[in-house]
Chain A
Amino acid sequence: MSLGRIPRWAWALVVVGLWVVVWALTKGTDTLALPGREHTDLHNELTGWRNDLIAGRDDNALMQFTGQIADAALKSVDWLQRMLSRPNYPRPVPEIGWLGLLGIIMWISHAVAGWKYAVLNGAIMFIAAVMGLWADTVDTLIVTLLAVICAVIIGMPIAVLIGTSDWANRIIGIVLDLMQTMPTFVYLIPVVLFFGTGAPAAIVATLIYALPPLIRVAGFGIRQVSPTAIEATDSMGQRAWQRLFKVQLPMARRTIIVGLNQTTLAALAMAVIASYVNGPGLGRPVVDALEIADVGRGLVPGAMLVLLAIMLDRTTTAASERSELLARSGGGNRRHRWGSLAVGLVAVGVMIQMSRVYSWAATYPSTGWSSDLADGINKVASWVFSTFGDLTGAFKDLVTYGLLNPMQSVLAESPWFVSGAAILLLALVVGGFRTTATTATVTAWTVLCLTGIWYLDLWHDAMISLNMVLVATLLTMILAVIFGVWMARRPRVDLMIRPLLDMGQTIPPFVYLVPVFYLFDQTRFTAIFAAIVYAAPVAIKLVADGVRGVPETTLEAGRSAGSTAWQEITKVQLPMASRSLVLAANQGLLYVLSMVVIGGMVGAGALGYDVVLGFSRFEEWGKGLAGGLSIVLLGIMLDRIFRAAAVTGSSTPVRRRTRRPARAEEESNDRVEPLAVTG
């Protein structure tokens, strides 16, 4: 099937034109708008269901069971905290003070990754001690570590399952999609219901978010093991478990460790959100700073989280490379290695003992540097705000009045059935008519998701959120194309910008929420801007990699024909990288979508506000849940439309929200087929 000679964008214009005409005649009717603090019968039913669960919690077997798990988790975290980070009351300090733990961490780093990493990690942990963030930093490490251990225990069997069975891959794939698109705040509510608050809730919430990368990547690795190797060993009559443990797992080892690395970083990314249920760690000072709108006091612990991410990322990567090397080269200088580790062990013993008896080695003497640094940052920040405040305000107004408000008016102020029909038509224009299968898929998913949103009674809010998501994605893509092309054409620019992008991806969004808020007030644009900061790095990297992938010979051919730089970009590089552009748009969109709830905390309203409200007010729980589910439905709908636009036939899941999108992209790129040329 095809759309004939008229290009897709012209069809889209026709649909939008019709929509605007209908909107002009009908605006303001049947919009299904629901005031911010009102709820419907459906929401009350959901709330009532939760209330019954709480009332019956003593007799509910499932809740008893999860309660016991939570107890066990609480006890182990508490024990670790008493050992390492918090006073083991009545002892005024932990059993092992900062000096001792510093030694332990350096020794482990040396043992698994090499002395360079011992120095790096020692320096990072020392900064934590000096900055007065020791206890919170260690708490974050404890929660992350336990979550990763649980992820391995739960995730590896599932990874094996999806690696060896096609139907499992398909079904579990959907569940993983759901786990990754669901806004964290939505499942925080049920998690608290079943696991209480504090460390257990933090671990479970972290697990839900951090598990999918491991399962996906490890499953992918097992799947990729060469069939010849399996056949060869099968022919020798091995059993299934032998095949798994002697062939598939060892051969997929490198990929599995990549998955583990991504899971670790995803777990760390949850540190701030976990503090909303009193999870221990560095998220607490970040959220406290948000509460008093203090830029510096949020940035200091936020930067510490970035350092921790660097530490865990580099160390696990180095450890995997090194173990590979050791496994290949046999012994090497084994005696020397053991000798240095033994000496190190004694040194660590001394450090631990010192940290038990000297109070300076137990808790680092308070320096006040953290506070001074925060004040310094605040001074710079307030200069920036007062100097550029008017400029940023004008930019905000330009985007809001020029783009955001008109689009929102058409989307949200049309009658619901008009918007719904228009969205379906646009979805078909963008993603349909490639093959019968894609047309059917796009129609089915769009209708299903829109019906779901309508059923959840938050249609109007969903349209406002959808509008913000679309505007943010559009701006993200403009940035991605400009910077992506620039980086691809100028290696030096790439070298300068890439570290900034890495930082943008690791720093928790809550940290820059305060400065963004000062620049743009409590508006939808604040949320959009924060979402762009979060989503742009991924999109820029994907576009840069795609443009760089255009073969040099093609460019040479163009140049010899005398094309200008502008022609080269618009006629050769961008069209040939169109696959990457679509992938970047899809990833950018999902990143933006994950920021909808956070937008609700800075005055953007709509679905984000509903979710935060449901999390905050007892009687609004059902509305919050409905809001969260609506976000999920929006995400699934947009994702399916984009996938249909990007591929023909194949329904390969695009990996998302992993901390290393560039790497994930390499893998998924192999399986995504080129865009069908329109017209």
Chain B
Amino acid sequence: MKNRWNRGVRVLGVSACLALVLAACGDGSIDKATDENKEAQAECGGDGELNLAVNPWVGMAADAYVVGTLADQELGCKVNYKELKEDVAWQEFKGGGVDVVIEDWGHPALEDQYFAEKGDGSAEDFGPTGNIGIIGWYVPPWLAEEHPDILEYENLNKYADKFKTSESGGKGQFLGADPSYKQFDEAIIANLDLDFKVVFSGGEAASISAFKKAEKNKEWMIGYFYDPQWLLAEIPVKKVALPEYTDGCQDDPAKVACDYPETELKKIVSTSWSGDGGAMVDLVKSFSWTNEDQNLVAKYIADDKMTPEDAAKKWIADNPDKVDAWLGR
């Protein structure tokens, strides 16, 4: 018995020595990287952390990861991506859980609650992203080509039968979008006396695959879609003209009978974060790009299956001029 104890102690001793030896011969790469990060962090500003909300569409991920990757690589910030719905993201401004919502399509109710004019002042408008949002009713290209008159809403009823599905209750099916998005399609259909029924797709991916399938199999379909969106580069879906947007025609949701306005997408930030200033605040302030830029990065992610980080890095490497302008170089 004693013998076994001794052996145990010996094994322990040898192992402990081994551990020490191994510890001593580390290659030092981790320590080096730690020091570099420490130096870089000072440049970032604020508390050195940037909390970016990522709402559930790929285009927004493109914006967020390009800004985030720059903040990380060039300014040394620690970047946290928060995958949240818009509603929750705004709620988190005050507690510091979210600093920046990089792409906002217009949320009057949220602005009332959180902007200084009517609400608690935890959020502010930080200027446009350069993207113009064009929401509307779209049909697949083959349909627009074979029946060009379908691009006028007046002619939709003529074809309503063709759009019937198992879900549309005897009317034509109009494919609505992700619940997060601003949508008045039910009201538009009712107020323009169109023989259609809205069926909600549930998410961006569902709408995209529906348009893809419709184009491939030459199926009849019409639905809510928008630009900037990476799919447009692959399948140029065609917009159906609704009665033109005029100021105030969408004020009463039940009475809407007009097209969606062109929306200047904007950045919304936490006031306590922007108040601190620093390099990352300047970066977000000066960030601005085109619909084509965003569509390209979004396509890298959704179609080419790159990780958002890799997609952002690729675009940054290909566009040094724009990046330098944002960084004030």
A603:B205 contact, CB within 8 angstroms: no
Interface 9-residue window, one of B24-32, B130-138, B268-276, B319-327: B24-32
B262 at interface by CB-CB < 8 Å = no
A346:B206 contact, CB within 8 angstroms: no
B23:A616 contact, CB within 8 angstroms: no
Instruction: Tell me which residues from 374 to 429 in chain A have a Cβ below 8 Å from any Cβ of chain B.
Output: 374-375, 396-397, 400-401, 405
Contact of A350 among B19, B88, B186 (CB under 8 A): B19
Instruction: Tell me which residues from 76 to 123 in chain A have a Cβ below 8 Å from any Cβ of chain B.
Output: 89-93
B86 at interface by CB-CB < 8 Å = yes
Q: How far is the CA of A609 from the CA of B167 in the complex (A)?
A: 15
B95:A291 contact, CB within 8 angstroms: no
A397:B30 contact, CB within 8 angstroms: no
A357:B179 contact, CB within 8 angstroms: no
B210 at interface by CB-CB < 8 Å = yes
Q: How far is the CA of A631 from the CA of B18 in the complex (A)?
A: 61
B201:A278 contact, CB within 8 angstroms: no
B27:A600 contact, CB within 8 angstroms: no
Contact of B210 among A89, A339, A349, A522 (CB under 8 A): A522
Chain A, residue nearest B205 (CB)? A293
Interface 9-residue window, one of A30-38, A149-157, A571-579: A30-38
A613:B179 contact, CB within 8 angstroms: yes
B210:A358 contact, CB within 8 angstroms: no
B291 at interface by CB-CB < 8 Å = no
Q: How far is the CA of A619 from the CA of B206 in the complex (A)?
A: 24
B33 at interface by CB-CB < 8 Å = yes
A93:B30 contact, CB within 8 angstroms: yes
B176 at interface by CB-CB < 8 Å = yes
B305 at interface by CB-CB < 8 Å = yes
A616:B86 contact, CB within 8 angstroms: yes
B301 at interface by CB-CB < 8 Å = yes
B203:A615 contact, CB within 8 angstroms: no
* B205 CB to nearest chain A CB (Å): 3
A600:B19 contact, CB within 8 angstroms: no
B184:A523 contact, CB within 8 angstroms: no
A619:B37 contact, CB within 8 angstroms: no
A618:B30 contact, CB within 8 angstroms: no
Chain A, residue nearest B35 (CB)? A90
Residue picked from A36, A284, A400, A617, most chain B C-beta under 10 Å: A617
Given A292-B58, A617-B180, A603-B201 contact (CB < 8 Å):
yes
B83:A284 contact, CB within 8 angstroms: yes
Could you say which residues of chain A place their CB within 8 Å of the CB of B166?
396-397, 400-401, 405, 523, 525
Number of interface residues of B (CB under 8 A): 78
A291:B205 contact, CB within 8 angstroms: yes
B34:A92 contact, CB within 8 angstroms: yes
Given A89-B78, A291-B203, A339-B8, A350-B18 contact (CB < 8 Å):
yes
Contact of A91 among B30, B186, B301 (CB under 8 A): B30
* A602 CB to nearest chain B CB (Å): 5
B16:A192 contact, CB within 8 angstroms: no
A353:B37 contact, CB within 8 angstroms: no
Contact of A196 among B95, B119, B167, B205 (CB under 8 A): B95
Contact of A354 among B22, B167, B187, B206 (CB under 8 A): B22
Residue picked from B16, B18, B83, B187, most chain A C-beta under 10 Å: B83
Q: How far is the CA of A356 from the CA of B19 in the complex (A)?
A: 12
* A99 CB to nearest chain B CB (Å): 11
Contact of B184 among A37, A358, A359, A609 (CB under 8 A): A37
B210:A609 contact, CB within 8 angstroms: no
Could you say which residues of chain B place their CB within 8 Å of the CB of A668?
none
B186:A603 contact, CB within 8 angstroms: no
Residue picked from B22, B34, B167, B175, most chain A C-beta under 10 Å: B167
A346:B15 contact, CB within 8 angstroms: yes
Could you say which residues of chain B place their CB within 8 Å of the CB of A198?
82, 97
* B116 CB to nearest chain A CB (Å): 13
Given A349-B19, A603-B167, A603-B199, A91-B113 contact (CB < 8 Å):
no
Q: How far is the CA of A603 from the CA of B173 in the complex (A)?
A: 12
* B188 CB to nearest chain A CB (Å): 11
Chain B, residue nearest A393 (CB)? B166
Q: How far is the CA of A609 from the CA of B200 in the complex (A)?
A: 8
Interface flags, B1-42, vs A, CB<8A=1, else 0: 000100010011001101100110111111001110110010
- Chain A interface size, under 10 / 10 to 19 / 20 to 34 / 35 or more: 35 or more
A371:B15 contact, CB within 8 angstroms: no
B97:A523 contact, CB within 8 angstroms: no
A518 at interface by CB-CB < 8 Å = yes
B305:A343 contact, CB within 8 angstroms: no
Interface flags, B119-140, vs A, CB<8A=1, else 0: 1100000000000000000000
Q: How far is the CA of A527 from the CA of B213 in the complex (A)?
A: 20
A290:B205 contact, CB within 8 angstroms: yes
Could you say which residues of chain B place their CB within 8 Å of the CB of A35?
186-187, 190, 198
B87 at interface by CB-CB < 8 Å = yes
A460 at interface by CB-CB < 8 Å = no
Residue picked from B11, B113, B179, most chain A C-beta under 10 Å: B179
Q: How far is the CA of A266 from the CA of B274 in the complex (A)?
A: 41
Interface flags, A44-55, vs B, CB<8A=1, else 0: 000000010011
Instruction: Tell me which residues from 284 to 311 in chain A have a Cβ below 8 Å from any Cβ of chain B.
Output: 284, 287-288, 290-294, 297
Chain B, residue nearest A340 (CB)? B8
* A251 CB to nearest chain B CB (Å): 37
Q: How far is the CA of A70 from the CA of B257 in the complex (A)?
A: 45
B92 at interface by CB-CB < 8 Å = yes
Chain A, residue nearest B114 (CB)? A54
B243 at interface by CB-CB < 8 Å = no
A36:B198 contact, CB within 8 angstroms: yes
A359:B41 contact, CB within 8 angstroms: no
A618:B107 contact, CB within 8 angstroms: yes
B30:A291 contact, CB within 8 angstroms: no
Q: How far is the CA of A196 from the CA of B203 in the complex (A)?
A: 24
B180:A616 contact, CB within 8 angstroms: yes
A350:B15 contact, CB within 8 angstroms: yes
Interface flags, A617-638, vs B, CB<8A=1, else 0: 1110100000000000000000
A275 at interface by CB-CB < 8 Å = yes
* B206 CB to nearest chain A CB (Å): 5
* B193 CB to nearest chain A CB (Å): 15
A197:B92 contact, CB within 8 angstroms: yes
B302 at interface by CB-CB < 8 Å = yes
B317 at interface by CB-CB < 8 Å = no
Q: How far is the CA of A643 from the CA of B138 in the complex (A)?
A: 50
Instruction: Tell me which residues from 180 to 201 in chain A have a Cβ below 8 Å from any Cβ of chain B.
Output: 192-193, 196-198
B37:A275 contact, CB within 8 angstroms: no
A517 at interface by CB-CB < 8 Å = yes
* A309 CB to nearest chain B CB (Å): 23
Contact of A346 among B12, B110, B178 (CB under 8 A): B12
Given A37-B253, A346-B12, A524-B167, A605-B58 contact (CB < 8 Å):
no
Could you say which residues of chain A place their CB within 8 Å of the CB of B180?
616-617
B56 at interface by CB-CB < 8 Å = yes
Interface flags, B33-71, vs A, CB<8A=1, else 0: 111011001000000000000001110000000000000
Q: How far is the CA of A522 from the CA of B173 in the complex (A)?
A: 11
B4:A339 contact, CB within 8 angstroms: yes
A90:B15 contact, CB within 8 angstroms: no
B157 at interface by CB-CB < 8 Å = no
B113:A293 contact, CB within 8 angstroms: no
Could you say which residues of chain B place their CB within 8 Å of the CB of A374?
305
Could you say which residues of chain B place their CB within 8 Å of the CB of A353?
19, 22-23
8 contacts between A and B (CB under 8 A): A36-B198, A36-B200, A291-B203, A353-B19, A356-B30, A357-B25, A405-B166, A615-B85
Q: Which 5 A-B pairs have the closest CB atoms?
A: A357-B26, A90-B37, A293-B205, A346-B15, A400-B166
Known: A192-B88, A292-B301, A616-B179. 13 other contacts (CB 8 A): A36-B198, A37-B186, A55-B119, A278-B84, A292-B305, A349-B15, A353-B22, A354-B23, A357-B28, A400-B167, A601-B203, A612-B179, A616-B86
